[in-house]
């Protein structure tokens, strides 16, 4: 009996392909990506080993129902970075032909070699808050886009009217969504307490606090402030090769939404000379620093403060800064 079996799953909107063995002779099975298909998959793999480790790629949400169903069935789940899988596949030097079944085999092989960390879902109240907050950001972007279109003169009166109407509808939906976010936070004691703690930090107001809280999730998921900053993509990246030392730049890894949520409060601190502004000035005075390097340092400092406030469950104290 195998102690642990790594199962590679290549998932899409309507189905997912499953590889249960690295042996090329073992066929890759396909299941429908719905509740019936999830149940059939769990029933098929459960007798294969004592521990089933299901590994799948982030696909923008198609993987979440299957991952939750596997966790409910006491299976171990890992969600993998698509960029790492793509580089892993290229490292084998195989032909560029790409199929769902072949991807499932590569995921299984990658998991058996790299032993990815286990993925655990955040509580429902945080997942709902994240959905609400991200939907609000989408509506804000759409309102901005239609506002720009409405500012341009159109020859047709109906085009002008509908552009204006769409912008007004989006504004009403954003207003309604703000009320829904406030009501959801108020109904959850844990979210309500965490929001109160975040609002005590200079530079962080209601909208920014809700975004940070939604993207952070339970602070207990992070072992340290450094790990939290790493999740946001704010830890320094050292690039040095021979005599080449390129200037610093804003990192492009981690949770971009969390990084964006920390960016605007940092700019507020810099503009109003509060919070982390003194730290940013010290960074600037240490040498010829690029503007974005100084802002990134302030964002990282703010991330450490957020972690300290939430993990200690105490309000912001400037003496500890």
Detail the DSSP E strand segments found in the chain: 4-11, 15-19, 29-32, 51-57, 76-80
Give the pLDDT confidence score for residue 312 in this predicted structure: 92
Domain range list for the chain: 4-114, 124-187, 189-321
Lowest-confidence pick of 36-40, 106-110, 243-247, 265-269: 243-247
Pairing relationship of beta strands 51-57 and 76-80 according to DSSP bridges: parallel
Could you read off the pLDDT of 133-180 as tens digits, one per residue? 999 999 999 999 999 988 888 889 899 999 999 999 999 999 999 999
List, edge to edge, every strand of the sheet that includes 4-11.
29-32, 15-19, 4-11, 51-57, 76-80
* pLDDT > 70: percent of the chain: 93
236 pLDDT exceeds 80? no
The pLDDT value recorded for residue 126 is 94
| Per-chain mean pLDDT for the chain | 89
Determine the Cα–Cα distance for residues 275 and 277; give it in Å rounded to an integer.
Answer: 6
Give per-residue pLDDT as tens, 52-69: 999 999 887 889 999 999
Q: Is residue 229 within 8 Å of residue 303, measured between CB atoms?
A: yes
What mean pLDDT comes out for the span 305-315?
Answer: 94
CA distance 214 to 261: 10
Q: Based on C-alpha coordinates, what's the Rg of the chain?
A: 24
76 three-class SS: strand
pLDDT of residue 241: 65
Compute the distance between CA of residue 10 and CA of residue 156 in angstroms, rounded to an integer.
48
For the chain, what's the residue count?
321
What CA–CA distance (Å, rounded) separates 196 from 216?
15
What pLDDT is recorded for position 81?
Answer: 85
Query: What's the CA angle centered on 112, arms 110 and 114, to 5 degrees?
Result: 60
pLDDT: is 264 or 248 the higher one? Answer: 264
Per-residue pLDDT at 11 exceeds 50:
yes
- Tokens, residue 294: 């100084």
Average pLDDT over residues 223-246: 79
4-114: what fold? Nucleotidyltransferase; domain 5 (3.30.420)
Coil, strand or helix at 231: helix
Q: Is the pLDDT of residue 1 over 60?
A: no
| Residue with token string 């790492």 | 84
The DSSP symbol for 287 reads T
pLDDT at residue 78, rounded to an integer: 93
What per-residue confidence (pLDDT) applies to 176? 96
The residue among 130 and 91 whose pLDDT is bigger is: 130
Cα–Cα dist 236/251, whole Å? 8
Q: For the chain, give the percent of residues with pLDDT over 90.
A: 62
- What average pLDDT does this structure show over 33-46? 93
């Amino acid at each position: 009996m195998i102690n642990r079996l790594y199962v590679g799953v290549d998932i899409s909107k309507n189905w997912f392909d499953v590889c249960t063995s690295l042996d090329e002779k073992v066929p890759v099975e396909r299941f429908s990506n719905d509740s019936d298909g999830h149940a059939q998959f769990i029933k098929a793999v459960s007798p294969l080993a004592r521990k089933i480790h299901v590994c799948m790629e982030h696909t923008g949400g198609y993987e979440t129902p299957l991952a939750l169903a596997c966790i409910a069935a006491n299976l171990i789940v890992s969600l993998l970075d698509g960029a790492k899988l793509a580089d892993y596949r290229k490292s084998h030097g195989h032909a560029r032909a790409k199929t769902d079944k072949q991807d499932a085999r590569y995921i299984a092989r990658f998991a058996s070699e790299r032993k990815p960390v286990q993925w655990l879902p955040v509580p429902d109240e945080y997942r709902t808050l994240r959905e609400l907050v991200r939907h609000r950001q989408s509506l804000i972007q759409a309102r901005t886009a239609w506002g720009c279109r409405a500012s341009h003169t159109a020859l047709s009166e109906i085009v002008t009217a509908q552009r204006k109407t769409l912008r007004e509808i989006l504004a009403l939906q954003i207003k309604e969504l703000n009320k829904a976010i406030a009501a959801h936070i108020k109904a959850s004691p844990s979210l309500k307490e965490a929001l109160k703690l975040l609002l005590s930090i200079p530079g962080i107001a209601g909208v920014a606090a809700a975004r940070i809280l939604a993207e952070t999730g339970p602070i207990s998921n992070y072992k340290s402030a450094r790990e939290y900053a790493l999740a946001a993509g704010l830890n320094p990246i050292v690039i040095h090769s021979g005599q080449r030392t390129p200037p610093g730049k804003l990192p492009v890894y981690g949770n971009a939404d969390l990084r964006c949520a920390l960016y605007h409060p940092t700019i507020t601190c810099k503009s109003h000379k509060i919070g982390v502004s003194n730290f940013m000035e010290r960074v600037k005075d240490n040498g010829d620093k690029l503007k974005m390097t100084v802002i990134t340092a302030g964002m990282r400092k703010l991330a450490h403060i957020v972690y300290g406030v939430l993990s200690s469950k105490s309000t912001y104290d400037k003496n500890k800064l």
